[in-house]
């Protein structure tokens, strides 16, 4: 890990699962009760906005009952103590990185605690229900939707992410399945640019074979150990 100046980190559902956040695959969770196409696509929202708004209201309420874990806190420590650059990109829409101490988090799939107005297209911090159609804080139109990137929509700040990947010394993927693009392709972009690649995941992801260093186990164990390695060099 010597001579590292720029680190790009991608986190996925696995890092928040240890805090109790439902993943697509978790048994008995919110996602098991709904089809993805019904609650996580623009078409589903157009078809049944009440269902979608109620679903994300439940997710937002559930978020208030969980806490960051050691993996979130370790990444915040890395951001504070590393002398180079750290870009933390997350596929997660929760705020556990921020509550764990991270100050600069790029939410490529949006945020549960943000609302997007379909009328004026302005984003606003949001922590209340949307199912009762509250007015937009900016234009007053009853046109709010979750500021979450649904399937079929373009993730946020992709130009910044790709530029960072190509100039990084290390790319680390934490708690991701390697199944959802474009994030699943980040390791190949990094590898092609000669960037060191590390996977920290509960089990091998679909893209494990692309990583030069793949370590498997709980994020709350692997991430603090990896951060210790980086900061000790």
Catalytic positions are 109
Pairing status of strand 144-148 against strand 196-201: unpaired
CA distance 52 to 145: 9
CA distance 183 to 229: 25
CB 138 within 8 Å of CB 125: no
Ramachandran region, residue 101 (left: φ > 0; alpha: ψ -120 to 50; beta: rest): left
User: What angle do the packed helices 219-232 and 70-81 form, to 10 degrees?
Assistant: 20
CA distance 79 to 85: 8
Element (H, E) at 128: none
Query: Which of 201, 191, 209, 219 is closest to 8 using CA atoms?
Result: 191
Element (H, E) at 96: helix 96-99
Q: Write phi, then psi, for 39 (nearest 5 degrees).
A: -120, -5
Structure tokens at 116: 């997007």
């Amino acid at each position: 890990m010597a001579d590292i100046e720029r680190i790009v980190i991608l986190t996925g559902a696995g890092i928040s699962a240890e805090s109790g956040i439902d993943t697509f695959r978790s048994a008995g969770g919110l996602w098991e009760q709904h089809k993805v196409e019904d609650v996580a696509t623009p078409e589903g929202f157009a078809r049944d906005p009440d269902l979608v708004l109620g679903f994300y209201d439940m997710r937002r309420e559930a978020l208030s009952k969980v806490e960051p874990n050691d993996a979130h806190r370790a990444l915040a420590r890395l951001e504070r103590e590393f002398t180079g650059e750290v870009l933390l990109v997350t596929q997660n829409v929760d705020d556990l990185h921020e509550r764990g101490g991270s100050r600069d988090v790029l939410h490529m799939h949006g945020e549960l605690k943000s609302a997007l107005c379909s009328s004026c297209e302005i984003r606003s911090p949001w922590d209340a229900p949307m199912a009762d159609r509250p007015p937009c804080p900016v234009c007053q139109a009853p046109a709010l939707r979750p500021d979450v990137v649904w399937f079929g929509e373009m993730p946020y700040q992709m130009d910044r992410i790709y530029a960072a990947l190509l100039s990084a010394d290390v790319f680390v993927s934490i708690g991701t399945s390697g199944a959802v693009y474009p994030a699943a392709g980040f390791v190949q972009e990094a590898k092609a640019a000669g960037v060191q690649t590390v996977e920290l995941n509960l089990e091998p992801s679909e893209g494990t074979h692309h990583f030069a260093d793949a370590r498997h186990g709980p994020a709350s164990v692997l991430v603090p150990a990896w951060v210790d390695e980086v900061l000790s060099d």
